[in-house]
Structures are given as C-alpha cells and as structure tokens.
Amino acid sequence: MQAPSSVRTLVIAAVAAVLLMVPLAVSAADAAPNDTCMMCHGDGAAKNAAGKSITVDAKSFAGSVHGQMSFKCTDCHSDVSADKLPHEPKLKPANCAACHEAPVKEYLATAHAKARAGGNMVAATCSNCHGVHDIQKSSEPASRTNVARIESTCGSCHGNDAVIQKAKLPGGNIVSQYHDSIHGQKTNGKGPAATKAPTCTGCHGAHKILTKNDPESRVNREHIALMCGSCHQQVYSRFSASQHGQMRQAGNSAAPTCIDCHSAHRIQQHAGTQWQLDVIKECGNCHQDFIATYRDTYHGQVTQLGFTRVATCNSCHGAHDVLPASNPKSMVSPENRVNTCRSCHPGANANFAAYEPHGNPHDRVGNPILYYTRLFMQLLLAGVFTFFGIHTLLWLIRSLKEVGKGRGGHDGH
Amino acid sequence: MSSSTLNAARPIAAAPERYYRRFAPTERVMHALLMLTFIGCALTGVPLLFADHTWAGTLVAFIGGFRAAALIHRVCAAIMSVVFVGHVLRVFIRALLSEDWLGYFWGPNSLVPNLKDGQDIVGMFKWFFGKGPRPQFDRYTYWEKFDYWAVFWGMFIIGGSGFMLWFPTFFSEFLPGWVFNVAMIVHGEEALLAVGFIFTIHFFNGHLRPEKFPMDLVVFTGRLPEHELKGERPLEYQRLVSAGRLQSLEAQAPSAQAVLYSRLLGTLGLTLGVLTILVIIYSAVV
C-alpha cells in the first residue's frame, strides 16, 4: 500500500529540513561571529572615519592558513566583542605571539624589531612578510614566505630604492644585487638548483635576522665561512686549510673570508671577466706591494687594460687553497713553481720559473739588478730628452727669428 | 736664400728646378717600412705602459683586444727586424763591394760620427745664440747621425728584449730568470725613449721645424731640389761638384702623384706620432 502523497511530501520536507539544518546549525555556532564582522567588513566599499578601506576579502581569508583552520576574527582581534558593536576605531595589533611564541621571541631580538621599538615603523613586523588575512604556509607556492617569493618579499623594502633611501637601509639595493648574483640567477631559474640555491633567508635566517655586526648573527664575519660552507663543503675544507683560513682560525679577523673576495650579495661565477678583474683588486687591498709589482708585468698590464686569459693572482697562487711560498704544498713553492708556470707555458723550465713575477725595481737592497737597470734607463731618458729638449727649443726660437727676418733658415748664407 | 725654401714641396709648382737623388729606392722603402712598423709597435705597446688610464683600454679594445694588439705588435716587430737585418747586411755587402771599404765606414757619406760632428754641435749652439754662423754640413748632420744610431741601439735593446719576452721558453733554455725581469724593464723604458724621441725630436729635426714645416718629403720621394742641397748640405754639394759626380745624381722632379702619396704617408705618420705624444703627456700629467 502506498502512503498518501501529502504524507510523503511532508516526510520528504522534514528529512530535507533536518538535513539542511545540520550544516546551518554548525555554521551558526562557528561562523556566526565572522558573519557579524563581515556585515561591515565584507562590503567592498566600506571605509572607516579616516576614509581608509576596512574591507576584508572573505575568500582570501577562507583560503589562508588561519581561514582553513576556521579561525574566528576575534581569535586574533581579541579586543572586539559581539556585544559592543561597532567596536573602537583603533584595535590592538593582532598578538601573533599568543600562538607563535618561539618565532616572535626570536623576532623581538632582531634588527627589524629593534628598529620598530625605536620608532621606525618602516621596519618589518610579522604582517610585512607573512601578510594579514591571507597568510599562507611557507610551503605553499603562493605564500609570501615561500622560497620562490622571498626575494620579492624582502625586496619590497630592501629592493625598493625609495624605501632604502628613506629608511637608510644598510647595503643599498641588496636585493637587486642578489637578483643578478649567481644565487639569484639560480633561485629565479628553473631546474633543481632553483630550490637549493639560497635566497635571502638561506643566509640571514627567517625570524632571527641579526645585523652583521651582531656576534650572534649568521652573517657575522666570524660565521660567514661556516655558513657558506654549509653548502660549499669542499671549498670550505680547502679554505680552512689555506693561509687565510688558518689566519682566521688563529683569531685574525682581518684575514679574508668568503665575502671579501666574492662579496655578500653580488656573488658571481668565477668565469666572468669582470669578476676575475675585480678580484685582483680585492687581493691588492691587502697585498699592496704585490699588486704594484704585478701591474709592472705583462700579465698585470693586460688585466688592467680590461682583458683576461693572462695570469691573475689565483692563476699562480690558487684561490681557496692559497698558501705561502714557504709551504711545500703552495703552488708557488720552489717545488711546485715550474708546474704552475707550465699550466699556461707548457715549455717552462727552471730558469723560466726563476723569473721574479713580483720583482720590485724600487727595492735597491732586495733587487739591485732591477734597481740599477731602471736607474740606468731613467738616466738615459732624462739625459737624451734634456739635451735634445734644449737643443730643439733653442733651434725653434732661432728658426722663428730667421723666418721672421724673411730668411729661410738654411745654413751657409 | 729665398723664403720659398720654407716648404720643400712648393718648388714643384714654381720655376723648374734641378733635383738630385739623396736616397735610393731601397732606403726609401726601408724608411717607410720602419716608420709604419714603428708606429704599429707604438700604438699597440704604449697602452701597456699606461694601462691604468681609461684611454689605454679603449684603444686596445678598438684595435680588437689585447690578443689582436699583441699580434700586430709582433708582426710589426718581425717586419722591423727583417728591415734591420736587411739594412745591416746591405751596409756590409756594399762596403765589401766598394773600392774603398774603409772610406765607406769613415768618410763623408758615412753615418759614423767624427770630430766634425762635435764641432758642429758647438757651432749650432753658437748659432742658436747668434754667436756664429750656422755650421756647414756634409751629407749627414750630427742630429741625423744621432737619429740613426739611436734607432740602431734601440733595435738591439728593444728588439733583443722583445724577442726574449716573445719566446721566453726558448731563451730560458740558456738565460737565467732575472734576465726576463731586466728585459721587461728595458723593453718598456727604451720603448718610451724611442717613441718619445722619434715623435718629438726626430719629427722636429726632420719635419716640423719652421724651415721644413709641416714635413720634408725627401725621405719618401728620395730626391731634393738643388737649392736645398746647396743650402743645407753645402759641403756635400761642393764635394759632388769637385768630384764631377753631381750630374750622375740628377733626377726628375718628383711627380705630383709621388708628392701626393708622400704627403699622405708623412701626414699619417706625423698625426699618429703627435697624437701618441699628446696622450703620453696627458697621462703623465693627469
């Protein structure tokens, strides 16, 4: 037997009503406060008394990490109560530390936080890097803190010339420098290196960004080699065994570390002409006598003219493994010198290698032969030019007089 | 002496004048080759001595980079060396063939300095101050002899050191290493002397002084007008007349074409040389 159609309709309606009520009831319990907020903040044209937009993009919040976790607005804006609306025009900043205690604690010790505490409100706080209502996990490709987007996130200040000038940010436009560096080229490129090459946070850290002068900083001079070495392990071990590395280990903080030759943000591949030419000057910053004598050689002259291919400092001394000539392992030690010359001059022999690449003709005691050779040549030049300079000048004056008299100046008349 | 002698090339347009041969074709070609290769070496070598100046890098880049510059430098050096060796051989062969080989090296036609050159230097200085007549010269004046021997010495010094630096592995088979340090200093300093001397003193003596300005074409055309031979080298003129040899040296006036090409070549040399000197002076001052 069949129930009357009216009864059937009623049952269907009841079941449908119940089924519909369940989600409504659930959302009434959780989302109702957000709906209340969105009554005002969901209006795209809504402005506060000062004329500033107060719109919150509901869709963007729903997609954020907090939205996905069904946060209520009042979870962060705890000083707003549904009982008292409209709320005060000025709310307290969201207290991220209420949940994220450890990173905020790290942040509070950093250059950014100290600058803010000192009244510099340009300095980044949580929301400048993570966003406000649209915060995403850094593993999300769209997140501001995703590896692929860190450069532009940091760059919104450290790559923005107007902000850099206004806030006197250290180092100038370091993000632009980074962008053109080998690291920046990798992270902005494709392939496996894109996620492995360091972006800003790779060296500076995420929350604990300290200035390079802070002994705790990852980019402090004392920690640079170790930090670069965390990726460049083989270079690190060669550098540690080198003269420079040993000097650093002995506590000489003036001894060069990675960034002195490679720079901090402009790091280039060593094959580049400009880098090869620049690094000569880097060596010369400390080794002034040696760059002066290097510039007297053909190698030094050609590189100064702006060309490579000829020997630069590291061609003979090595790069990361530079050692003094007294060390038998050094490329310029008496044992290895001929082989070092042969890397470019295949026919080099012991005499060839006895050429003094840093012979100083100004050093009478150390290089008497060169000193007196140069002295002789200079006296010769001075003598010839003095005699003929006078000869020419007197001749010119006399000839001009002859011409003035209407005479040719030929002799014998 | 008429003022027309101010310009060596002008007389061709004036009344026909006798011309006499001063330089043989071989000598003219040698001078032209020497001049061009010298300028080639100077333009590609001087930038190295002033490598810290912007113009030097720009010039070498314009030439086509340091390897192109090095190639030009070495090609010019090789040609210059051949010219030099050819000249020395020619001198000795001609001396051997000459009836009076001693007179070939020690006569008025020789470039070997003699006592009269010393007297002429004193005489010129007296003339500079108006204290005496201008000395009477023979075929070669003392400044021409100095030019010649300066180049001769320079060939050994710059050429010798240059070949050592060009072929260091070969020379180090039998020379100690410090010789290359000496070669490097000597090559640069002597080159500066040569460039400085040729592009100022030789230019003035030979071309730029008021009597010759802007240039003397005799080394290109090989011939000079009678009034110049008589006026500038009276002893040679008298010697040739009394020996009855003047006639045999008489030559046609250089053709208009020869004069044109000579002027072009001379202008090229003078311009590049003077520019080089200006750049060196600028670099020394700045």
CA distance A287 to chain B (A): 18
**A298 vs A305: CA distance, rounded Å:** 11
Helix (H) or strand (E) holding B107: none
Whether residues A305 and B48 touch (CB distance < 8 A) is answered with yes
* Residue A36: other Cβ atoms inside 10 A: 15
pLDDT at A270: 86
Per-residue CA distances from A284 to A110, A294, A302, A374, B56 (Å): 35, 10, 16, 24, 21
Q: Which CATH number fits domain B20-285: 3.40.50.2000, 1.20.950.20, 1.10.3720.10, 3.20.20.80?
A: 1.20.950.20
Residue spans of the domains in chain B: they are: 20-285
Q: So what's the ipTM on this one?
A: 0.91
Furthest CA-CA distance within chain A: 156
pLDDT at B14: 53
Hey, is B169 helix, strand or coil?
Answer: helix
Whether residues B128 and A353 touch (CB distance < 8 A) is answered with no
pLDDT at A12: 61
CA proximity to B185, closest of B164, B199, B155, B167: B164
pLDDT at A9: 60
CA proximity to B228, closest of B13, B16, B18, B15: B18
Q: Give me A241's structure tokens.
A: 């065994």
Whether residues A305 and B57 touch (CB distance < 8 A) is answered with yes
Tens of pLDDT along chain A (413 residues)?
A: 444 556 666 556 555 555 555 444 444 444 456 888 888 888 888 888 888 888 998 889 989 999 999 898 889 998 888 777 888 888 888 899 999 999 999 999 998 999 999 988 889 999 999 999 999 999 999 899 999 999 999 999 999 999 999 988 989 999 999 999 999 999 999 888 888 899 999 999 989 999 999 999 999 999 999 999 999 999 999 999 999 999 999 999 999 999 999 999 999 988 889 999 999 999 999 999 999 999 999 999 999 999 999 999 999 999 999 999 999 999 999 999 999 999 999 999 999 999 999 999 999 999 999 999 999 999 999 999 999 999 999 999 999 998 887 654 454 33
Residue A132 phi, psi (nearest 5): -115, -85
Chain B residues with CB-CB distance to A297 below 8 A: 184
CA distance B189 to chain A (A): 6
Question: How confident is chain B (286 residues) per 10-residue block, as mean pLDDT?
Answer: 44 72 96 97 97 96 97 98 97 90 86 96 96 96 96 95 97 97 97 97 95 93 94 95 94 95 97 97 92
- Is the CB of A403 inside 8 Å of chain B's CB atoms? yes
pLDDT at A413: 36
**CA neighbours within 13 Å on the CB side: how many for B175?**
19
Hey, is B266 helix, strand or coil?
Answer: helix
pLDDT at B7: 47
pLDDT at A45: 84
The 3-state secondary structure of chain A reads CCCCHHHHHHHHHHHHHHHHHHHHHHHHHHCHHHHHHHHHHCCCCCECCCCCECCCCHHHHHHCHHHHCCCCHHHHCCCCCCCCCCCCCCCCCCCHHHCCHHHHHHHHCCHHHHHHHCCCCCCCCHHHHHCCCCCCCCCCCCCCCCCCCHHHHHHHHHCCHHHHHHHCCCCCCHHHHHHHCHHHHHHCCCCCHHHHCCCHHHHHCCCCCCCCCCCCCCCCCCCHHHHHHCCCHHHHHHHHHCHHHHHHHCCCCCCCCHHHHHCCCCCCCCCCHHHHHHHHHHHHHHCHHHHHHHCCCHHHHHHHCCCCCCCCHHHHHCCCCCCCCCCCCCCCCCCCHHHHHHCCCCCCCHHHHCCCCCCCCCCCCCCHHHHHHHHHHHHHHHHHHHHHHHHHHHHHHHHHHHHHCCCCCCCCC
Helix (H) or strand (E) holding B199: none
Chain A residues with CB-CB distance to B209 below 8 A: 395-396, 399, 409
CA distance B11 to chain A (A): 14
Whether residues A408 and B5 touch (CB distance < 8 A) is answered with yes
**B122 vs B157: CA distance, rounded Å:** 29
- Matching residue, tokens 């086509």: B64
**Chain pair A-B, CB pairs under 8 angstroms:** 175
- C-alpha R_g of chain B: 21
Chain B residues with CB-CB distance to A306 below 8 A: 57, 60-61
Residues in B 96-155 with any Cβ partner in A closer than 8 A: 124-125, 127-130, 133-137, 143, 150
Furthest CA-CA distance within chain B: 65
- Is the CB of A295 inside 8 Å of chain B's CB atoms? yes
β-bridge mates for residue B225, sequence order: B19
